[in-house]
Amino acid sequence: MGIREWLLKPYLEKTSKDLSDLKVRVDTLEAELKALKEDNIRVRDELREVLRALNEKADKADIQDLRLRLNSLMKTLDGLIMKIEGLEIGLQGDHLLTDDEAKKELILRLIREGYNTPKELKAMVPFGNKKLYEILRELEREGLIKKLKKRRKVIYVAEEGAY
């Protein structure tokens, strides 16, 4: 045993233990996240069924108010599901986004999955606005995505060859 090994041994043992504890914690969080996402999807589907039933029988003002509240709840659930999916992407250990190519692939995949506005994309990626827009411009220059504008709203769509 050399002097370096002797000096660093307690630090290395502590670091190894910390890493194994973090791995267990990440696995637990991933399981909780998956269960939460499934619950949210189930609740959203139930809300859609209730809303569909209400639409068939809606004649009174109180039912109209109920319909508006259900729509609001569905939008909130969709937002939560989107955030959960963003957390899943951030937790994926094999998906460390260190290079620009991995970030481009992530954004292209998200656009294909239906996250088309900059706001939706920003909620899903673990990096800042500047980097997001830089990558979006680069993907557009490469012809992999197309930028559509409707008044003030911007939507990104994957091109046919990008699939």
Pair 15, 80 in one domain: yes
Pair 53, 120 in one domain: no
The backbone torsions φ and ψ at residue 37, rounded to the nearest 5 degrees and listed phi first, read -65, -45
The model's pTM is 0.47
Pair 101, 57 in one domain: no
Pair 14, 74 in one domain: yes
Cα angle, residue 74 at apex, residues 73 and 78 outer, rounded to 5°:
120
Query: Residue 76's domain spans which residues?
Result: 1-95
State the Cα–Cα distance between residues 71 and 73, nearest whole angstrom: 5
Which range has highest mean pLDDT (40-54, 112-126, 129-143)?
129-143
Q: Write down which residue in 95, 125, 153 finishes a domain.
A: 95
Which has more confidence, 7 or 120? Answer: 120
Q: Write down which residue in 43, 61, 95 finishes a domain.
A: 95
Pair 38, 69 in one domain: yes
Pair 82, 4 in one domain: yes
Q: What does 77-119 look like in DSSP terms, one character per residue?
A: HHHHHHHHHHHHHHH-TT----SHHHHHHHHHHHHHTT--SHH
Quick check: 85 pLDDT over 60?
yes
Six token digits for residue 123: 């909620």
Pair 88, 103 in one domain: no
Burial class (CB in 10 A: 0-12, 13-18, 19+), 107: buried
Pair 20, 38 in one domain: yes
Quick check: 93 pLDDT over 50?
no
Q: How many domains does the chain have?
A: 2
- The mean of the pLDDT values for the chain is 78
pLDDT at site 61: 64
Six token digits for residue 122: 């920003």
Q: Write down which residue in 36, 63, 95 finishes a domain.
A: 95
